[in-house]
Amino acid sequence: HQTKTPFPQDFLWGSASAAYQIEGAHDVDGKGPSVWDVYTKIPGTTFKETNGDIAVDHYHRYEEDVKLMHEQGLKAYRFSIAWSRIYPEGTGEVNEAGLKFYDKLIDSLIEYKIEPLVTVYHWDVPQALMDRYGAWESREIIKHFDTYCRTLFKRYGDRVKYWITLNEQNIFVGLGYQKALHPPGVKDLKRMYEANHIANLANATVINSFHELVPDGQIGPSFAYSPTYPYDADPKHIIAQENAESLNAHWWMDVYAFGRYPQVIWNYLDKHNLTPTIEQGDFDLLASAKPDFMGLNYYQTATIKHNPLDGVGEATMNTTGKKGSQQESGTEGLFKQVQNPYLETTDWDWTIDPEGLRVALRRIESRYHLPVLITENGLGAFDTLEEGDVINDDYRIEFLQKHISAIQDAISDGVTVLGYCTWSFTDLLSWLNGYQKRYGFVYVNRDENGPKDLRRIKKKSYYWYKEVIERNGLEG
């Protein structure tokens, strides 16, 4: 019977959001359109044609939302800045009104002693840059992204000490260029790997800029990591699992941490003419940028079997990612994803696996020797608003409780964990699932048919997490 190591005293108990999913005010105070403003208006792209024009109207209600965070005792709040509020055209004239909005938000968080954790990019690239040169598909974006980030670092670097660069690069390139579910909505692996490499260069560039401009701050990317398990001890499945782990995780995290791509996957992609174009100096740049932590978005794990050459071949990557359902999918000759007989799934068919979070944390520590900031973890579920404005989300409490316990196990194992941000603070727009897939501690009274009154209602989990924060963990 072992006692667990307590959470550190300065552990960042937090919660998270992203601009497009909460702000609304899509054309207010000089904001330019992002790719999501445009993409969600194309019929058939989202659930019941939902978009973020109003979202949960956080832009106009941020004071109320921050008060709710304060009342809950949050130590940290992760949010993202909308690039096209700051540079409506992606580049060119800076929009002072956009900068002011985030000034006010940051100041009110600080007033309540809530540490702001700022994501500079949560998928909403300015549409102007998509139109001009295909956004992440052109190296042009590196300097524009750097200018945007330098503006933020200079403006907020005195008050914001934790920064996240790219949110889930693996997901935005995978869904954007392989599965055609996110903008730009294409299926083209060559373009995906090219855009991904350019995103890596942009990520490295702004990490270096940050260290120059905010030397006392910390910065890192947020990776959507779904650890893989071999189906069983058959060596064929072991190799397949290693393939999946490398293709879906090392392909990104090795670049962030070491500045190089994993060789096994490089060889595989090379055989299929899918490796990105490398220019002189690329690897020097990638290796020069050292993240201060690995941001981890954890939702689920994936279970892997051998896949013969004539096997399931529909998709290559991200099929084992959190966005994949549990149906069989994979890459011929590399691996396939199968159901895990030990795990239950959510309403959206994602595995529920708290132990997988411990696995994720240990693997990151072992391979990269970096502290981890858990930037997302949570349960998307249908919630019921009961009489008297009550939401009894015991299932969410159970989910979070088990994941927090797994984090404490990992801390006891020796992993340095800086903080834990649940996804999400208020309910918000799920990119492809409208408003019915709820994640928040705070219910927002709206649905796909309209914004209703948008009133905020504390769920049972809101009160439960308040106590966790007060106790600095589950015990005591």
Q: Is 167 in the site for ligand BG6 (CB under 6 A)?
A: yes
User: Could you say whether residue 226 binds ligand BG6 (CB under 6 A)?
Assistant: no
Question: How many residues bind to ligand BG6 according to rule CB under 6 A?
Answer: 15
Least CB distance to ligand BG6 at residue 171 (A): 5
Stretch of residues binding ligand BG6 (CB under 6 A), selected from 30-38, 166-174, 179-187, 336-344: 166-174
Diameter of the chain measured on Cα atoms = 64
Q: Which 238-277 positions form the footprint of ligand BG6 (CB under 6 A)?
A: none
Residue 182 as a binder of ligand BG6 (CB under 6 A): the answer is no
Question: In whole angstroms, how close is the CB of 148 to ligand BG6 at the nearest point?
Answer: 19
Question: Min. distance of Cβ 222 from ligand BG6 in angstroms?
Answer: 7
Does 423 engage in binding with ligand BG6 (CB under 6 A)? Answer: yes
Contact region for ligand BG6 (CB under 6 A) — 28-36, 157-165, 381-389, 429-437? 429-437
- Establish if 18 lies at the interface with ligand BG6 (CB under 6 A): yes
Instruction: Decide if 332 is catalytic.
Output: no
Would you count residue 297 as binding ligand BG6 (CB under 6 A)?
yes
Contact residue for ligand BG6 among 98, 380, 440, 473 (CB under 6 A): 380
Q: Does the protein bind ligand BG6 through residue 206 (CB under 6 A)?
A: no
Point out the catalytic residue in the list 111, 212, 376, 448. 376
Please give the residue whose beta carbon sits closest to ligand BG6 in the complex. 430
Q: How far is the CB of 48 from ligand BG6 (least distance, A)?
A: 14
In this chain, which stretch among 28-36, 402-410, 426-434, 451-459 interacts with ligand BG6, using CB under 6 A? Answer: 426-434
Q: Of the candidates 23, 124, 376, 383, which one interacts with ligand BG6 according to CB under 6 A?
A: 376
